[in-house]
């Protein structure tokens, strides 16, 4: 991860490892399906975009891949 922002391959791998579809991942972080798809698009494609640090952290916290608890944890 360059500068803490994952590559498109890392975003896709994290989603697959979490067992989520693109739509489920998008819903989890509150973005559209097309936004999530752009984050998984190779950078040489004109529609490619990098995931924001906030969205990446949200995804990782909610899928349990970083220390902390999920946002919907009632504790």
Q: How confident is the model at residue 75 (pLDDT cuts 50, 70, 90)?
A: very low
Dihedral sign for Cα atoms in the order 44, 19, 62, 25 = positive
R_g of the chain computed on alpha carbons: 12
Please write the tens of the pLDDT for every residue from 12-42.
999 999 999 999 999 999 999 999 999 999 9
Number of domains in the chain: 1
Evaluate whether residue 45 is within a structural domain: yes
Evaluate whether residue 25 is within a structural domain: yes
Question: Distance (Å, rounded) from C-alpha 35 to C-alpha 22?
Answer: 10
Evaluate whether residue 40 is within a structural domain: yes
Q: What percent of the chain has pLDDT over 70?
A: 83
Evaluate whether residue 75 is within a structural domain: no
């Amino acid at each position: 991860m360059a500068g803490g922002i994952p590559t498109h391959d890392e975003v896709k791998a994290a989603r697959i490892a979490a067992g989520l579809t693109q739509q489920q991942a998008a819903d989890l972080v509150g973005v559209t399906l097309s936004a999530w798809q752009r984050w998984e698009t190779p950078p040489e494609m004109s529609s490619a975009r990098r995931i924001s640090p906030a969205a990446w952290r949200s995804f990782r916290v909610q899928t349990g891949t970083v220390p902390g608890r999920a946002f919907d944890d009632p504790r």
